[in-house]
Structure 1
Amino acid sequence: MLNKVQIKVRGYHLDIFQHVNNARYLEFLEEGRWAFFDDFGGVELMEEGIAWAVVNININFRAEAGFGDTLEVQTRYIKLGNRSITMKQTIINTQTQDLVAEADVTYVCFSKTLKAAVALPDDLRQKIEQAIADSE
């Protein structure tokens, strides 16, 4: 499954060089992940005391984006561990089709009660495995 969400670059996203500040890309990527979870599921786990904790983010910046650009954040699963998932995210400038940034984000399935990483529920694991297979 590939999820896409668009974000318009606003003035408050810019730094003194008049392009998107690197810290804003973390927010854009997070918006993409929340949109992904809205469509894919997994948010309901929070009601059961399970959360997704980000444990690693690697971002490569490829091109600048500026005021008025529309950026498309694309998100998909790429790797599944016993207690973790890794997502690949790309940010594309929709006007130029330039790759603006790409990131790998790793989460662990975290029990709020136990305050520890736990194995993914079997039904969710199967759903993620299928999503990874479908996107290859």
Structure 2
Amino acid sequence: MDSRLSRVTLRVRGYHLDGYGHVNNARYLEFLEEGRWGYFDDRPDVARPFASGNPALVAVNLNINYRLAAVAGDDLEVHTRLAELGSRSARMHQEIRRVRDDKLVVDADLTFVLLDVKANRPLAIEGELHELLAPLVMED
């Protein structure tokens, strides 16, 4: 496995489902967020600058494509990678795949900015943080 890719596995539970018996679309937001947390858990050196809560990586755009319904008992794997790194923003690409057949359930792109929480203003992604993130980029 490419060390720039992070994988988190989870099982679909009954409380994830909607009235139609498949995962509610809003739950995929949580699954994707779990994947992003896992991504930074796997890279403590990258997460370290955010430990104090300032600065923070803040989502500014999220696009999700729902490809296939997942149901109770499905094991899903969330794949997360850094797809693009700019000076003001970055983009993560994520896929949720069903483990038993590797079918694509969801794919998503999340754009984030670096935010000075105290001043409530965006910061440039530069210096040490840029140096930590740049080798992790896996372009589309």
What is the total number of aligned residue pairs between the two structures?
A: 134
TM-score by length of 1: 0.93
Partners in 2 of 1:125 and 1:19 — Cα distance? 39
Deviation of the 1:127 alpha carbon: 2.1
1:31 matches 2:44: no
Cα displacement string for residues 44-66 of structure 1 (whole angstroms, at most 9, x for unaligned residues): 22316200110000000100100
Q: Which residue is 1:7 aligned to? A: 10
Determine if the alignment matches structure 1 residue 101 to structure 2 residue 106.
yes
Change (3 A) 1:100 1:48: closer
| Larger displacement relative to structure 2 (16-25 or 47-56) | 47-56
Q: For structure 1, list consecutive stretches of 5 or more residues without a partner in the other structure.
A: none
State the percentage of identical aligned residues. 44
**Amino acid of the residue matched to residue 28 of structure 1?**
F
- 1:131 corresponds to: 136
| Shift in alpha-carbon separation, 1:128–1:9, aligned structure 2, 3 A | same
Tell me which protein shows more helix as a share of its residues. Answer: 1
Q: Which 4+ stretches in 1 moved above 4 angstroms?
A: none
What is the aligned counterpart of 1:117 among 119, 122, 126?
122
Moved more, 93-102 or 43-52: 43-52
Return the alpha-carbon distance in structure 2 between the equivalents of residues 118 and 99 of structure 1: 35
Structure-2 residue corresponding to 1:19? 22
Q: CA deviation at 1:38?
A: 1.2
Distance in 1 between residues matched to 2:125 and 2:59, nearest whole Å: 15
The answer to whether residue 44 in structure 2 is matched with residue 44 in structure 1 is no
Gaps of 5+ in 2: none
Q: 2:87–2:126: 8 Å Cα contact kept in structure 1?
A: no
Does structure 1 residue 85 correspond to structure 2 residue 90?
A: yes
Match among 62, 68, 89 for residue 63 of structure 1:
68
Provide the C-alpha distance between the structure 2 equivalents of 1:11 and 1:104, rounded to a whole number of angstroms.
Answer: 27
**SS across alignment from 1:36:** helix
Distance 2:49 2:135 in 1: 19
